[in-house]
A and B are shown apart, each in its own frame.
Chain A
Amino acid sequence: MTLRWDVLAAIIGMALASYLCRAGGYAVLRVTRPPPFVQAMLQHLPGCIFVAFLAPIFLQSGWPAAAAGAVVLLVQARLRRLALSILAGVGTIWLLRLAGAP
């Protein structure tokens, strides 16, 4: 169980930088009143962030991932159970691989 000073310093730097990102956006909002346009943007940001996050991932990962992704969307839209949807997606990829998919 070693703890080196340089590693500790890096960890503290990483933690402070991450906290600045987490709290900073809200801290700014707490002291200033954003214009209506910015407020409208904040309403749209959540969905857009995750679409932008997923798009490049799925572009790179081939058709079995796209098929499994469609299964996740379908199961979640119908049943609204996160655990089940994730399991269905992983199961789909697993079965496709068993069947010889890349």
Chain B
Amino acid sequence: MDQRGGFTRAGVVRGLKAALALTLGLSPFGLVVGMTADGVGLSLLETLLMSGLVFAGTSQLVALQLWSDPAPILAATLACLVINLRMAPMGAALAPVLDRTRGIRLWGSLALLVDNSFALTIAELRAGRRDAGFLFGASFGMWVNWMAMCAIGHIFGNALRLPAGHPIFFASSAAVLAILVQLWRGRSDLQPWLLAGAVALMAHGLGLGAPWPVLAGAFAGATLGAWRDTRGQA
């Protein structure tokens, strides 16, 4: 919590608590990935190894949907590369939090980076707390939940039988929506956000799959915001 930033134990604890508050929002996705992995014939060990090392739900789901025997090594790798491309600008945006860390605390925290922990850390940063410990704590808490839910989904998937439209699946969208409220800085965010949404819808309407609507929308909105902020300077 100190002004210069860094990586504190208090930050880790705060992050873990924030991840815990999101439990309901995080859990359904892990269940789905566990069930899907079981469905395509991955063993529990293989499922947990994948979820533990990859820790990126959408890309895992896409890879599992094109799974085959023998495993599609190149296709699965490419799916992860393309779909997780959205995390590259996230890491860059976290620079103020990460700049005073190094070694395992830096590159290890980045290894666990996920959308939700990124968003919560940005909200922390804007509240004046620059702590890479928070990023690690939140990400690690989410990783633990992820592993538990993937395991439960794999083991009990057949018994649970959650239909695709079940209300519980709304929880992950709800989590992102709630975090979005914390990222709102005021009216100056309105135009970039509207443009981001509109461009994403346009890319989606053109039939582009993940991650292109997200990337196109995010960059359009951010460009508008940056253009507005830097206009008249220089």
Interface centre among A18, A58, A76, A77 (most CB of B within 10 A): A18
B178 at the interface (CB under 8 A from A): yes
B44 touches A36 (CB 8 A): no
A52 touches B217 (CB 8 A): yes
Given the complex of chains A and B, what is the CA–CA distance between A45 and B92 in angstroms?
Answer: 10
- The A interface is mostly helix, strand or loop, or mixed, namely helix
Which residue of the partner chain, among A28, A48, A57, contacts B222 with CB atoms under 8 Å? A48
A14 touches B87 (CB 8 A): no
Residues of A within 8 A of B199 (CB): 52
A22 touches B84 (CB 8 A): yes
A86 touches B221 (CB 8 A): no
B174 at the interface (CB under 8 A from A): yes
12 CB-based A-B contacts, threshold 8 Å: A3-B45, A28-B92, A30-B95, A41-B222, A43-B226, A50-B179, A52-B197, A68-B174, A69-B177, A80-B182, A82-B178, A89-B171
Q: Could you list which residues of chain B lie within 8 angstroms of chain A, going by C-beta atoms?
A: 18, 21-25, 42-46, 49-50, 53-56, 59-60, 63, 70-74, 76-81, 84-95, 98-99, 107, 110-111, 113, 115, 118-119, 122, 167-168, 170-171, 173-185, 189, 192-193, 195-201, 204, 213-227, 229-230, 233-234
Q: Could you list which residues of chain A lie within 8 angstroms of chain B, going by C-beta atoms?
A: 1-4, 6-30, 34, 36-38, 40-59, 61, 65, 68-69, 72-73, 75-77, 80-83, 85-87, 89-90, 93-94, 97
